[in-house]
Every structure is written in C-alpha cells, then in structure tokens.
Structure 1
C-alpha cells in the first residue's frame, strides 16, 4: 500500500483503506516491561568507536526507518531489500512478492549508546511479530517479520527473546519472526530513503506511519534523540 512512481490512485484510496491499521498500531505492547527484557544487556563502552549494524524487517520499511531514526545511538537507517534470491532488485520487483526479498532496514548504531538488546526491544514494539507475511494491509512475503543476524551473538539474542516472549505470552499469538543470516543487502531507490521526513504530508505517512511513530516515541521517550 505504498507510493510508486505515478501511483496517485493508491495514495487517494489509502485514506479509506488504512484507518483500521492506524488504529491497531496503537495497541502494541511495551516489550521492555516483560521479564525477558527487564534484564536486557545495556550499552557497553565502545573504546574503538566502531559502529555495529542490526538488520530488521518489520513490514513497510518506511515505518521501520521513521521509528529507529528516533533512537539515541542510532546513526543511520538505510531502507532496502534482503533475504531473497534476485540480485539488484527494484522496489517494483520486490512488490510482486516473487524475489524472496523482504523490505528491511540496516540500522547502523553506536554500541556505547544503545545495545543490540535495546534495538530488539524496539523491533518487537515497532510492529506485530505474530502476523505471518504481512503487517496490517501490507500483505506478502516482502512484508514479513524477520531478524537478519550479523553474528552468532545476534542470532542467540534473537532466539532467546523470541522464546522468552512466547513463554510470557507477550502477544495474543505466537511470534512468527524469521531469524536468518545476513547475506547481501540491496539499498532501495533514493526516494525511499528518509521517506517520512521527506513526505510527511502523504496519506500513508499521516494515517499509518505517524500513529505508529507517536506510540513508539511514547514507549521509548527515555531513549530518544534530543
């Protein structure tokens, strides 16, 4: 349900189609209140100054980008595609659901200011990880929930929190988030980058991204950039 070149009709109808999604976006739980995350690993001293990368797919990458851009310690969020089999895919190709790729974001962060555990807490708050191959009205494998781990530590943490959240029944249904190794990431077209900040007046931004972003900022009010 997103804008591609010349798709004015989709933007006109979005106001009518996406109101239920905007409403349900307000009811995601604050995962940090679960027992699993109360003992999350804090940010560590980063003597080398080296940045790390987390790669998440959580539905529309416009939403994910806008949310993670708010967090203190996150330097850059890059929207793109990963997890599929087609090299150098276009947004139009990924939208067909035939490339195997998910819309995803590379989140480049400073581990001395925000930990991977905290990013996982944000990931599980930012979307509904119990929806299989969709987020609300965005339907298809390209909108699946997925964590693409860069090392064994990230893999173990992802598996640990999924297991604990399921055990605690943090959601009404089991988590279906895919945990897969990071392979290659294809940056999306330029007009997808920093989308919400550049296109805040669009219906999708107003009716879907904005309500999710406002809720996200309330949950992570102590971790926001100043």
Structure 2
C-alpha cells in the first residue's frame, strides 16, 4: 500500500512552465497553478501580474513519495528554472516570478534547506530561492490550469515552456511519466 500523497508548493517564474514539467513527472498525482505568499485575498491574475499583491505564481505539486521523493522534485525544480536571478525568469520580471519553495511541514523545510545549501556550494552562494511555509494560497483561474496541454502552439508556450519541458525530458529521462 502506498503512503498518503504529499504536497509541495513551488514558485519558479511563470506557473505554466512548472505545471507543464511536473505534469510529466512519474509519481506526481496532480499539479495546480495558483498564487501564494502574498498579502492579497483571492487575487486575480491581472492583480498578481501588476506586482502589488506580494503573491508569487506557484504550482502545488501532489506527489507519491514512494514513487518520487521531494529531493528529486527539487532537483528537477532547480534544473528547469534559474534560482540565481531575484524576481525574474527570462523576460518575466517582478516579485510574482520569484524563486520559492513553500513548504507544508518541518521535514520538507529541512530537505529544501539541504538541497539549497548543496546548490549554493556549487553556485558560489548565488541562490536566491526563498524557503518559507506556504501561506495565503489561492488557486489560479480555470484557464491557467493545464495551460500548456491546452495551448501548446501559443507563442509563450512554444518559445518558453517547450524548451523547459524538453530540458526536463533530456536531464531526467528516468523520471518521465510514460504517456
């Protein structure tokens, strides 16, 4: 019998990119795009993009730890986004695009801090990823859910999301969920 599913919340730029990657990871049971760790209540996409809500674009990843560990999920996270640029991923600029690991318990925080420390040792202390408890989470609007799957030819998806999905597939071929 498999243990209960766990949830981790990650912010690494546009949530469409992370959602598209994690939906392809073996052991991930579900991915939901949303907004977290700001002060706004029930913010809209337009409000979050305005940069005044304090919210980050995030994905909540539900996973089976018997199939994929939190460490493995974080290793994927750090390959598919740049953890060294504050409040920016590519052309997406603003606090809503910050790098963050929003934990749900003390064990997750310990693992996240270990992985970030290891990465910092490799990158000379340049990692800016924040590690905080998840707070004030709000599910994004329906049209953001499964965005890449529903709009693979859309410009942003073709030129930004697709390369991240391909990088995941090349780097973690053993983690890719079979179609």
- SS for the counterpart of 1:196 is helix
* Matching residue of 2:67: 113
Aligned equivalents of 2:145, 2:58: Cα separation in 1: 12
**CA positional deviation for 1:115:** 0.5
**CA positional deviation for 1:49:** 3.5
Q: Which of 82, 92, 101 is equivalent to 1:138?
A: 92
Aligned equivalents of 1:134, 1:191: Cα separation in 2: 23
5+ unaligned residues in a row in structure 1: which ranges?
1-46
* Matching residue of 2:22: 68
The answer to whether the 8 A contact 1:130-1:173 is kept is no
* Matching residue of 1:93: 47
Is 1:126–2:80 an aligned residue pair?
yes
The answer to whether the 8 A contact 2:2-2:66 is kept is no
Superposition TM-score, scaled by structure 2 size? 0.96
Q: Which of 159, 176, 179 is equivalent to 2:113?
A: 159
* Matching residue of 1:201: 153
Query: CA offsets per residue over residues 110-142 of structure 1, 9 Å max, x none?
Result: 111011111110111110000100101000000
- The within-5 A match list for 1:8-19 is none
Aligned equivalents of 1:164, 1:209: Cα separation in 2: 27
Is 1:192–2:107 an aligned residue pair?
no
Runs of 4+ with deviation above 6 angstroms? none
**CA positional deviation for 1:184:** 2.9
Give RMSD over aligned pairs.
1.2
Aligned equivalents of 1:52, 1:161: Cα separation in 2: 18
Aligned equivalents of 2:95, 2:54: Cα separation in 1: 7
Query: CA offsets per residue over residues 174-204 of structure 1, 9 Å max, x none?
Result: 0000111112310000000000010011111
Q: Which of 9, 29, 38 is equivalent to 1:84?
A: 38
Is 1:217–2:169 an aligned residue pair?
yes
Aligned equivalents of 1:53, 1:223: Cα separation in 2: 18
TM-aligned CA distance change 1:218 to 1:48, over 3 Å: closer
Matched residues, number: 178
The answer to whether the 8 A contact 1:58-1:143 is kept is yes
5+ unaligned residues in a row in structure 2: which ranges?
none
* Matching residue of 1:147: 101
**CA positional deviation for 1:168:** 2.3
* Matching residue of 1:8: none
